[in-house]
Structure 1
Amino acid sequence: MAVRIRQTQEGVTYRMPLMLSLQSAGNTTRETIQSTARDQTFTIGLDDKPTKIILDPDEWVLKEMMN
């Protein structure tokens, strides 16, 4: 699975860990990715296709998300 993270704010690019919650067939997995650039794509190996993906499930990051 590929996840794309884009930082669209003006000014400095933030370096931060981001948590992903990946749900599939009764199983939930959490993965941490390191955001270090304005536009990054991360590849995450999964056994099953996820039914739901939640970026920052604990709501630590001030953000606006777009599908």
Structure 2
Amino acid sequence: MEKLLVKLLLHGAMITAIIVGLSNATFASAVIAALGIGVASYLESLNISSTFGSFEIISLLRSSRLSE
């Protein structure tokens, strides 16, 4: 029972910290960027990214900017 209460308190504290932090634009953009990087890495590890073609599109955009 005590472990459950500790887990609930920890989750509540984390959720509160995230909500308060998201009101700060710098923190919010950092969290969104970190989530995006995490999702992209996860998809890359599953080789799903080739289905979406997101990495191919990004590399094409980068190469087109370099050629200008």
TM-score by length of 2: 0.18
TM-score by length of 1: 0.18
Give 1 or 2 for the bigger CA radius of gyration.
Answer: 2
Q: Which has the higher helix share?
A: 2
Q: Which structure has more RCO (C-alpha within 8 Å, separation ≥ 6)?
A: 1
